[in-house]
């Protein structure tokens, strides 16, 4: 049975902030819009939610359609609904964010995205809608999250140096960290396994490590306090 509503209903969209790490800095996946409004402007992947669609399903569909990205862990960020945020009308967006390895997810535009590309989080182009605000909110969430949950498994290669791990945290926080203090606190959590392998191509090869997935997952579930 159809219902008649007294009040107009806003349109609902999803937007996705996808973070990656290239070994030196934090990256963000953007698409160039192929349709109006903001034709040709860079934006976060996203789009309208179908009437019978779950929010996370909509976010995954839009990521797949606009960037070919699939099989990633998504976490809901928050809702953005300031009137006037979308020139098409009253549009409310539910934002999600994801952590991936860029080398495993090359950017590829599709459907209403004429192009997709990875950008440095410190050198972003002008963004459509209120997507800069959404991105900053996701970055704030990530900066808070690294203090109570590990995030390296999603962003670092399978084998990595402690310097790479520190570079990741410095990229997220946007500031340098004391090397000795960082390593002391990091190793105390005991979720890294040192390998009998060393990095190549540097003046002083560094030992490689990998995650102990069982201990890593336990810390994800119960959390920890990483004061950095």
Active site residue ranges: 115
Specify the residue for token string 């007294």.
6
Strand pairing category for 26-33 and 42-43: antiparallel
Residue 86 burial by Cβ neighbours in a 10 Å radius (0-12, 13-18, 19+)? buried
Please name which of 110, 75, 111, 107 lies closest in space to residue 94, comparing C-alpha atoms: 75
Q: How many CB atoms lie within 10 A of CB 94?
A: 20
């Amino acid at each position: 049975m159809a219902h008649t509503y007294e009040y107009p209903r806003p349109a609902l969209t999803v937007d996705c902030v996808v973070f990656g790490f290239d070994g030196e800095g934090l990256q963000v996946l953007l698409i160039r819009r192929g349709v109006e409004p903001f034709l040709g402007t860079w934006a976060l992947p996203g789009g309208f939610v179908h009437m019978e669609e779950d929010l996370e399903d909509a976010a995954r569909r839009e990521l797949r359609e606009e960037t070919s990205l699939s099989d990633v862990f998504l976490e809901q960020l928050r809702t953005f609904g300031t009137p006037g945020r979308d020139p098409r009308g009253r549009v409310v967006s539910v934002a999600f964010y994801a952590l991936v390895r860029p080398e495993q997810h090359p950017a590829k535009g599709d459907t209403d995205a004429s192009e997709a590309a990875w950008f440095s989080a410190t050198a972003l182009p002008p963004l459509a809608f209120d997507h800069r605000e959404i991105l900053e909110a996701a970055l704030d969430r990530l900066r808070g999250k690294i203090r109570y949950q590990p995030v390296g498994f999603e962003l670092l290669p399978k084998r990595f140096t402690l310097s790479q791990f520190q570079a990741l945290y410095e990229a997220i926080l946007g500031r340098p960290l004391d090397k000795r203090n960082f390593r002391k606190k990091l190793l105390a959590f005991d979720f890294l396994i040192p390998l009998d392998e060393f990095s190549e191509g540097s003046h002083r090869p560094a030992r490689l490590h990998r995650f102990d997935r069982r201990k890593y997952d336990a810390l994800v579930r119960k959390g920890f306090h990483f004061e950095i």
